[in-house]
Structure 1
Amino acid sequence: MNYGIVIFPSKKLQDIANSYRKRYDPHYALVPPHLTLKNVFSADDDQIKDIAGKLSVISKKYDPFNLKVYKVSSFQPVNNVIYFKVESKPELQGLHDDMHNQNFMGDEPEFAFVPHITIAQKLSNDEHSDIFGSLSMLGIDHEEIIDRFHLLYQLENGSWTVYETFRLGKEQ
């Protein structure tokens, strides 16, 4: 089965992201707006129980932290993805790194970790240029406290749902 690990922002930020995603993101109906900590990976039932145990340990290493979204950016020319840029924090980097070390799943991420929330993807070059031109003028300035992350699994129809939620902090 396919799994992934994400942070879901507040409903307020999800609503802002979805106002663009419903027009520019073909994955709009499959998963809510999110910040990916670990991309899609496969695991069987026994492996996922072990992974969930490791995620529980990881969650206790980090306290809740401030998430700041401060501009619209793009991954072009690597790919035509437009996103809300999230300020890098030691907690975010640590969570990402812990989920990619040899004691976890052992696989290296395909790209360097750039904290973000996707708002448009799978665009042609012309679409990307037009949409990014207008969205990059948006003023986005949002802050909130993040106190949990989620292990998701993929359903047969391609959509994603929560398998387990992990609260951050030592006092759980």
Structure 2
Amino acid sequence: MKYGIVIFPSKPIQDEINAYRKRYDTHYALIPPHLTLKEAFEADDETIHELVTELKLIANKTESFTISTDKVSTFAPVTNTIYLKVNQEQQLTDLADTMQKGKFPENQTYSFVPHITIAQNLSEDEHSDVYGSLRMKDIQLEDTVDRFHLLYQLDNGVWTVYESFVFGKEFV
């Protein structure tokens, strides 16, 4: 089964981001706005149970932190993806780095660039028009992060929460 690890922003932030995503993001119906900590990976039941234990330990050692965005950017020319750039916070970078080693599968394709996708799979002309329009907007968002989520992908492509991990919580 395919899994991934993400941070979901709060509902008000998701609503604001979805105002753009519903027009420009082909994955709008498949997953809510999110910040990817660990890109999609394959795992069997035994491996995922080990990873859940590891994720609980990581969450327990992690304190809440704030994320913020202040500009629109793009991954062009590699892909025609447009995103909200999430400012680099050391805690966020450390969290993402932790999920690339140890018991976690080594599957990192690109360097960690904290972002929330707002448009993807656009043609060259669409990308140029949408990016030109969105980068003129002042989209400043701030949110407190107090948990991350292990997701799995259903047969229809939709991602759903397998388990959520709240920061600083003890577990048995």
Same structural fold, with TM-score higher than 0.5 when normalized by the shorter chain: yes
Equivalent in the alignment of 2:113: 114
* 1:12/1:145 CA distance change after superposition, 3 Å: same
1:164 aligns with 2:167: no
1:64 aligns with 2:45: no
Alignment partners' CA distance in 2, 1:118 and 1:33? 7
What's the secondary structure of 1:70's corresponding residue? Answer: strand
Q: What is the identity, as a one-letter code, of the residue corresponding to 1:93? A: T
Alignment partners' CA distance in 1, 2:20 and 2:157? 21
Alignment partners' CA distance in 1, 2:45 and 2:55? 15
- Map 1:129-140 to 2 at 5 A: 129-140=128-139
Alignment partners' CA distance in 1, 2:67 and 2:161? 21
- Map 1:81-96 to 2 at 5 A: 81-96=81-96
Gaps of 5+ in 2: none
1:69, 1:143 within 8 Å by CA — same for their partners in 2? yes
In the superposition, the TM-score normalised over structure 1's length comes to 0.96
Q: What is the identity, as a one-letter code, of the residue corresponding to 2:147? A: R
In the superposition, the TM-score normalised over structure 2's length comes to 0.96
Q: Return the offset for 1:69.
A: 1.2
Q: What is the identity, as a one-letter code, of the residue corresponding to 1:57? A: L
1:98, 1:104 within 8 Å by CA — same for their partners in 2? no
1:66, 1:146 within 8 Å by CA — same for their partners in 2? yes
Q: Aligned residue pairs: how many?
A: 171
Alignment partners' CA distance in 1, 2:79 and 2:27? 16
Equivalent in the alignment of 2:74: 74
Deviation digits for residues 57-109 of structure 1 (CA, Å, limit 9, x no counterpart): 111222000111111111111111000110111111111111001x1224141
- Which is worse superposed, 7-16 or 162-171? 162-171
Equivalent in the alignment of 2:33: 33
Q: Return the offset for 1:143.
A: 1.1
2:41, 2:105 within 8 Å by CA — same for their partners in 1? no
2:39, 2:107 within 8 Å by CA — same for their partners in 1? no
Alignment partners' CA distance in 2, 1:142 and 1:169? 24
1:62, 1:170 within 8 Å by CA — same for their partners in 2? no
